[in-house]
């Protein structure tokens, strides 16, 4: 089966997650069509039989290019097994208010786009203080302290729970219809 993996990223963590997802897809014997949403040649979902899309939250929003594709593709995505991975800092914390807020951010984007993924994962992202410019560092100090009590604002920290991502993707792939299912339907 050909699985579309399309991601939006600003500082690179969601690309790393999408590459990890693509590796799992290949390990399980499928073809992975991996695309950055900002790449104009982003593949049409109609050439794939399943899709996993991922984007990260910045100031309560996902990457515009990703949201644009989701709106454009929602009918085709709704016609195949699909899943969404939302990457954020809020997902790294255990504050129920922060988690509810990030879930509402995802649900609102999905409602507005018309896409109904079968499953959504909130994956913890990363803080890359060594790469932020002055403005981002200033914003992120405030956001990070809101979500995490033990933030080192002088170094990079990866919060992504790779086992969580693996379990989510393997579960999604395990539920994909097989050729035998098609034959059963036809017969």
Ligand X SMILES: Cc1cc2nc3c(=O)[nH]c(=O)nc-3n(C[C@H](O)[C@H](O)[C@H](O)COP(=O)(O)O)c2cc1C
> Binding marks (x or -) toward ligand X, 149..178, rule CB under 6 A?
------------------------------
In the list 5, 80, 102, 169, the residue contacting ligand X (rule: CB under 6 A) is: 102
Burial degree of 38 (CB within 10 A; 0-12, 13-18, 19+)? middle
Please, what is the minimum distance in Å from the beta carbon of residue 123 to ligand X?
A: 9
Region 117-146 residues binding ligand X, contact defined as CB under 6 A? 125-127, 136, 139-140, 143
DSSP conformational letter for 35: E
By beta carbon distance, the residue nearest ligand X is: 125
User: How many chain residues are in contact with ligand X, going by CB under 6 A?
Assistant: 23
Give the bridge partners for 84, in sequence order. Answer: 53, 120
Q: Does 86 bind ligand X (CB under 6 A)?
A: no
Residue ranges with strand state E in the chain: 2-7, 31-36, 50-56, 82-88, 119-124, 126-128, 156-158
DSSP letters, 126-147, are EEETTT--HHHHHHHHHHHHHH
Q: Does 88 bind ligand X (CB under 6 A)?
A: yes
Please, what is the minimum distance in Å from the beta carbon of residue 133 to ligand X?
A: 10
In the list 22, 83, 89, 109, the residue contacting ligand X (rule: CB under 6 A) is: 89
In the list 1, 2, 10, 166, the residue contacting ligand X (rule: CB under 6 A) is: 10
Q: Retrieve residue 10's tokens.
A: 């600003």
Q: Is 161 left (phi over 0), alpha (psi -120 to 50) or beta?
A: beta
Please, what is the minimum distance in Å from the beta carbon of residue 35 to ligand X?
A: 14
Please, what is the minimum distance in Å from the beta carbon of residue 87 to ligand X?
A: 5
In the list 2, 28, 58, 76, the residue contacting ligand X (rule: CB under 6 A) is: 58
Rounded to the nearest 10 degrees, how much is the dihedral formed by the CA atoms of 101, 107, 110, 111? -120
CB of 144 closer than 8 Å to CB of 153:
yes
Point out which residues bind ligand X (CB under 6 A): 9-14, 56-60, 87-90, 102, 125-127, 136, 139-140, 143
């Amino acid at each position: 089966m050909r699985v579309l993996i399309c991601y939006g990223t600003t500082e690179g963590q969601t690309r790393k997650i999408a590459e990890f997802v693509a590796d799992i897809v290949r390990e399980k014997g499928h073809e992975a069509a991996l695309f950055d949403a900002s790449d104009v040649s982003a593949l049409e979902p109609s050439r794939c039989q399943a899709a996993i899309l991922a984007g990260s939250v910045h100031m309560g929003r996902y990457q515009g290019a990703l949201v644009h594709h989701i709106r454009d593709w929602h009918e085709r995505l709704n016609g195949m097994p699909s899943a969404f991975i939302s990457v954020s800092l809020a997902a790294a914390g255990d504050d129920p208010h922060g988690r509810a807020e990030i879930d509402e951010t995802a649900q609102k984007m999905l409602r507005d786009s018309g896409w109904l993924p079968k499953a959504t994962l909130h994956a913890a992202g990363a803080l890359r203080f060594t790469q932020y410019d002055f403005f981002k560092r200033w914003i992120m100090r405030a956001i990070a302290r809101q979500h995490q009590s033990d933030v080192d604002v002088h170094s990079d920290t990866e919060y992504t729970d790779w086992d969580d991502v693996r379990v989510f993707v393997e579960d999604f792939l395990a539920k994909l219809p097989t050729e035998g299912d098609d034959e059963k339907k036809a017969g």
